A and B are shown apart, each in its own frame.
Chain A
């Protein structure tokens, strides 16, 4: 699909300048964007749904060039600042406040997925648009996980992360591969700028969130050769909803236990010889997703808002909290899962930064890996992704706290799928 000339011109400088300001993406030493020449597969995926007042053209102006010269979708606000129209979805925190943006440039959504199309063309991994979620924080006070060292240090980091974390569909029930962009720079010299497809846990299954133990096998993953990764995807299922959301008259629903998602990643960037160059373990949490796994539902997807209206034969039902508020204690009927009134829309999220380790003392700083972060070489190869890793060996391994827990990314028109 050729690019319209106006988009082509705009994309030479990251985000569309007329919308977000020319300074937002014109200096990028990490991704080294060049003028976009063709659209990536992730570009142009979104089309307006019921209630969305923006057009596809208004949406696609929010684009950024990737390191491969292709044009990618990137962060935009849920409401178009020019026209005031509503996109109906959000991508998290506005990255223009991150101190890292000046050096890494706007985040191209889907670049690792795009490279996989070259690296392993028979096993692509394509993700939707609305699942790309950005979070960042400047000057994060980090922990040093050492009793002998911790009182002496004040390690601080800037972090800018993006995970494709769709919490509205059945995708993550089976698919453990999701695009992760991870930028971190700390005052102790720790620095890495990583783009990869992270494999979270075991493909084809998830772990039941309300007991943090039961592995629920669902079906074949996409791609079929998805690697098994560290960590796990904690996702609620019907059992969680029955136990914690539909309750008797003596207590209120515990939505935190019923519907909490936690995607716990463990990521490694490895050289061709298998040596780990860098590793990091951010956890991504969503307290009110718009889905849960229901093996009895069409498409295996249950909707929390539907459960607000359900009464079990024994009288158990949703009581108090979000259900009571949105339905006015059952008086407001007919709110559907994709209604902007539904509180189950995934707009509250938080990221546990956790540990960061680098073992790259001999360099180089620039590595090219396959889309899964493996087979790192100093030179580019077909399907490779450029990674920047500080040429150091971290001794303090700064460990970060939770960021974003007090933020709310909802707004007018924002609704599931989000």
Chain B
């Protein structure tokens, strides 16, 4: 992670945290910190002018911590990942971002999420390494199927997309306009 991006991310996190602390959540059933762990399938790809448009499919997942900042809005941080290994080559995506979840109907289960952070796609073997880090946006949607005050099942879909990063193969620059892309869907467990 480059220093300017890390600084920007830290500042954004502090801002979100401060915003959250400044709010007094209403009794809407979503007070407190909520953790969400999801696992599913995902497709990831590099993006550039000469990158293949087809993604590589494999396992993917998400991890998030959020708290309510006002009725129908929660804020927190989210990590998305994707992992693929075959023929001695390991490919992965790791992306982190402060996110905001919006519940359009207030107390309903449906939500939309969005955030901006950074992400990295790596592909490596014993001999070679390909990678790109880029500012990424994350967006998605899900539905909380709550079965108790503490637990909910959450089917979700999420997209991470970034660009403007320097893509390198074994240290040699491929392009300064590289990016990454990850689409995933799955089922998450949410608890607080």
Contact = CB atoms under 8 A, between A and B. Distances in A.
Contact of B50 (A146, A147, A187, A393): A187
B46 A153 contact: yes
Nearest to A187: B50
B51 A153 contact: yes
Contacts of B51: 152-154
A393 B173 CA distance: 8
Contacts of B89: 147-148
Contacts of A153: 46, 50-52
- Name A's interface SS: loop
A277 to B, nearest CB: 16
B128 A396 contact: no
B53 interface: yes
A328 interface: no
Given A146-B169, A147-B88, A152-B130, A396 B174 contact: yes
Contacts of A154: 50-53
Contacts of A155: 50
A152 B46 CA distance: 6
Contact of B123 (A152, A156, A396): A152
A62 B8 CA distance: 64
B27 interface: no
B99 interface: no
**Which of B50, B88, B175 has the most chain A CB atoms inside 10 A of its CB?**
B50
B128 A395 contact: no
B56 interface: yes
A69 B91 CA distance: 54
Contacts of B46: 152-153
Contacts of A394: 172
A188 B56 CA distance: 21
Contact of B168 (A151, A156, A188, A395): A395
Chain B's interface size range is 20 to 34
A146 B53 contact: no
A153 B169 CA distance: 12
A187 B174 CA distance: 12
Chain A's interface size range is 10 to 19
Given A155-B50, A187-B49, A187-B50, A149 B173 contact: no
Interface string B153-185: 000000000000000111011110000000000
B87 interface: yes
**Which of A147, A155, A394 has the most chain B CB atoms inside 10 A of its CB?**
A147
Interface string A185-197: 0111100000000
B124 interface: yes
Nearest to B129: A148
A129 B46 CA distance: 48
Contact of B128 (A147, A186, A188, A189): A147
Contacts of B175: 188-189
Contacts of B130: 146, 148-149, 152
A156 B172 contact: no
Nearest to A154: B52
A147 B125 contact: yes
B100 interface: no
**Which of B49, B87, B88, B124 has the most chain A CB atoms inside 10 A of its CB?**
B49
B50 A148 contact: no
A154 B54 CA distance: 10
B49 A395 contact: no
A154 B128 CA distance: 19
15 contacts: A146-B128, A146-B130, A147-B87, A147-B125, A148-B125, A148-B128, A148-B169, A152-B123, A152-B130, A153-B51, A187-B50, A188-B49, A393-B172, A395-B170, A396-B169
Given A149-B128, A187-B50, 17 more contacts: A146-B169, A147-B87, A147-B89, A147-B128, A148-B89, A148-B124, A148-B125, A148-B129, A149-B123, A149-B130, A152-B56, A153-B50, A154-B53, A188-B174, A393-B172, A395-B169, A395-B173
Closest 9 CB pairs of A and B: A395-B172, A148-B123, A187-B50, A154-B52, A152-B46, A395-B169, A188-B50, A395-B174, A148-B128
Interface of B: 45-46, 49-53, 56, 87-89, 91, 123-125, 128-130, 168-170, 172-175
Interface of A: 146-149, 151-156, 186-189, 393-396
